[in-house]
Amino acid sequence: MAGETVAKIGSGLLIFLGVVRGDTKETAEWMARKTLSIRIFADGGQAMNRSVIDVAGSLLVVSQFTLAAETLRGNRPSYSSAAESADAERLYEHYVETLRRETNQVETGSFGSDMRVALENDGPVTILLDHA
């Protein structure tokens, strides 16, 4: 519904998840484990030595098929490498379930919906995880 807040988190990670053709349940599980364990939060000395689990952070997962954009040719992105919607949704849900096995601080957007997403980026730190 327009104007409805679907999910909101405090300190933690905003995850834009793009699923491409060839991704599997194993890919989703690997990505979830990496998301939870990657050390990108500052410790007392300001080094990036802590994971989202270490800092008791929250996670907001938003589906984002446009991450599969191919832009080498022409001026209009192609999304032919993006997974079919049903496959993408299945793997998106599996990724979220894998996260939730480790923490109850997981929120989600509305899969496949047009959403307004607001971010206050502390750092800024933006990391691309890829299982290629």
- Please write the tens of the pLDDT for every residue from 54-67: 999 999 999 999 89
Please compute the mean of the pLDDT values over residues 79-88 and round it to a whole number.
94
What stretches of 38-120 show up as alpha helix (H) in DSSP?
Answer: 85-100
pLDDT at 2: 67
pLDDT at 30: 97
In the residue annotation, 24 being an active-site residue is answered as: no
Q: What is the CATH number of domain 12-108?
A: 3.50.80.10
The token pair that represents 22 in the structure block: 């060839």
Q: Which of 66, 71, 103, 108 is catalytic?
A: 66
On average, the pLDDT of the chain sits at 92
Every domain of the chain and the residues it spans:
12-108
Question: pTM for the full model?
Answer: 0.91
**Which pLDDT tens digit goes with each residue over 101-127?**
999 999 998 888 888 888 888 877 888
